[in-house]
Chain A
Amino acid sequence: AQSVTQLGSHVSVSEGALVLLRCNYSSSVPPYLFWYVQYPNQGLQLLLKYTTGATLVKGINGFEAEFKKSETSFHLTKPSAHMSDAAEYFCAVSEGGGFKTIFGAGTRLFVKA
């Protein structure tokens, strides 16, 4: 069975600082991994995804994530935080070929001026 663990329900950074949001997953088959962002009163939007191939994937708004199979991790980073990055971020896993996507509990990112 798939599962996703996001470390830290809240992360606070200063504007311009590095953003690091942690995600570990469990999957019985090679996973497809995703990060989604949710702004207040909106649905989730895809930031980036890993399916196969290059383990470092780049997404929108300057975010990137690296798939590390040995660590079963898919951490999300951004070199320099912007105020507009304040939102909730969800890591998700899908075992592909099927249809279930399981989400982590979410990490709320606060960006201080």
Chain B
Amino acid sequence: DAGVIQSPRHEVTEMGQEVTLRCKPISGHNSLFWYRQTMMRGLELLIYFNNNVPIDDSGMPEDRFSAKMPNASFSTLKIQPSEPRDSAVYFCASNPTPGLRNTGELFFGEGSRLTVL
């Protein structure tokens, strides 16, 4: 079975450019999460969706960041304009169990490493 698929794996861009990261969750998983990993701040939850609806975006650092989930099999995280401090590894994860039976177990993609020069 295919796992969570993220693209691109690596992205190098210049400050001010728009960056779009993509994620395909595991088929049948109802929840999708975007995390950011840096040395300084560790793993930070940016936003999560349930049944394609954003539930909590309180972790999104600022208005330059936006995320969408137009359907159950695709999500994007966009940064516009990008800044050097956005350099990090961005992970997408999905979760199979909906609602009150949700134990929070996550299945991670391999990440998108973003470098903003």
Contacts and interface: CB of A to CB of B under 8 A. Distances in A.
A100 B91 contact: no
Which label, helix, strand, loop or mixed, suits the secondary structure of the B interface? strand
B104 A94 contact: yes
Interface stretch (B64-72, B75-83, B108-116): B108-116
Question: Interface size class for chain B?
Answer: 20 to 34
Given A43-B4, A43-B91, A44-B91, A100 B106 contact: no
Contacts of B104: 32, 34, 92, 94-96, 99-101
A51 B104 CA distance: 10
Question: Interface size class for chain A?
Answer: 20 to 34
A97 B102 contact: yes
Contact of B103 (A43, A45, A51, A90): A51
Interface of B: 4, 31, 33, 35, 42-43, 45, 48, 50, 55-56, 91, 93, 95, 99-100, 102-111
